Every structure is written in structure tokens, then in C-alpha cells.
A and B are shown apart, each in its own frame.
Chain A
């Protein structure tokens, strides 16, 4: 599994990644998934990552980029 940009989040990320891989191959890809079973672990990992993103000023950059995406998507929809 790949490392996190924040080394302090690596441990919880690995736990989440393992959970996701198991769920993805055993439930999602077989079409039997009903809920995201790894959501609690993801919340924990996301909490750790959130602090790291804020420290690097990335939270705003990401929000802006995702906002841009929405605008682009709207334009795309209009044209077609």
C-alpha cells in the first residue's frame, strides 16, 4: 500500500487501506455491497489527514480545485 503524505497518518491509513481492499474485492466487485463497511476507519484516517492537509495549506487548494471541476462539468453539460 502507498504511504500517506503525512507519516503520522501511515498507521491508520494502512488499517483503512486493508479494510477497503477486502471490502472492494469481497463485496463491491461481486455486487453484494450494501454499505461502506470501512467508513468508521476512514473517518479516523481522514481526521488525521485533515490536520496534515491544513498544515500544508492544501485543504483550500483542494476545495478550489473541486469547485473548478464543478464549473467545468456544468459547462460541459451545457455544450452537449
Chain B
């Protein structure tokens, strides 16, 4: 079973800033469940000038009590309070000259039950416009120390998608399809003239 959700929106911030914010998004006060972030690999290609990064995040999550009742806590590594932790593998490619960044995050464990793949594609918007006062958030202000103002102008388009895939559902579907095919074959032989 595969389910895909897609959405598009635009950030009122320039592409360089958005790509920087992506790498710096943890830790932040709204994501205290993210315990650690490590860089597994990072390659800069001098020819294409693309930067490819693989990171590993460790996230703590509260499990729904229904799930806790179904699966023993010892198996999940969960505490008595129902806290569990999971590893997320994130890959990203940034092409600063072409003005895009493609990111993908997936769960590392329990992929046999449910695999969740989150993708975000960021694109620099065609026309540059002067930085508006609306974009003067605290992060933009901090970043003006880091980046020249020319790099802080413009907007960034984002295409985000979440793909949910469960082999459980797939097996059920396969069995149903096989049963339907067998039934169809049976019907056919019956309806054939003798």
C-alpha cells in the first residue's frame, strides 16, 4: 500500500537563506524531541559545485497507547512512559548556482511495518525582488551577519511530499488480487461452452 501526499508553497526568504536554515534547523525550541544530529557523509563536487549531505537524526517520540498494547515495550526500546526513539536518515543535494535543493528523509527502523519518506524540493524563484520588511524575522536578522544582503533577496518555492508505504497492505492486496484472478479464471472455465 502506497499513499502520497503532496503540497506546494513559497517561503518569503531567499534560497541561500532557506538552504542554510535547513542545515541549522535542529536544535530549535519547537523540536525538543530531536536529540541528536550527525553528519554521516558530505561530498562537494568541484565540477558541478553540488553539495551532497547524509545526516542521521535521533528523535524521541511518544507512542500511541494502542501501539504500545500491541507491541511489547522491550521490542520498541520504549520507557514506561511510552517514550521511544527512532533514527531518521536524511539526504540532501544543494546546487547553489542552479538554485535548487532536494532533500529526503526516511525512517531507518520498522520499515517492514511502515516506511515514511518525506521529500522537499526547494527552488529559487525566477525574479529577484528587494528584501521586504516582512522578511525581517529574527533568523533573517541573524543571517544578515552571515550573508551579504544580495543573497538575502527573493523567494523560494517548495514542493513537499510524504510517501507512506506499508508491505502489510501490499501483501493483503497481492492475496486479494491472486484470489480475484483465481476466481475470474474459475468463472471463465465454467462459462465456456461444453
Contacts and interface: CB of A to CB of B under 8 A. Distances in A.
State which size class the interface on A falls in: 20 to 34
Interface stretch (B133-141, B145-153, B173-181, B186-194): B145-153
B16 A29 contact: yes
Interface of A: 2-6, 9, 13, 16, 20-21, 24-25, 28-31, 33-36, 42, 45-46, 49, 58, 61-62, 65-66, 68-69
19 contacts: A2-B37, A4-B38, A5-B35, A5-B58, A16-B39, A24-B20, A25-B20, A29-B19, A29-B147, A31-B49, A31-B97, A34-B46, A35-B44, A42-B42, A46-B39, A58-B56, A62-B108, A65-B111, A69-B106
Given A4-B36, A4-B38, 18 more contacts: A2-B26, A3-B27, A3-B35, A5-B38, A9-B38, A21-B24, A21-B146, A25-B146, A29-B19, A29-B151, A31-B97, A33-B49, A35-B46, A36-B43, A42-B42, A58-B87, A62-B89, A65-B106
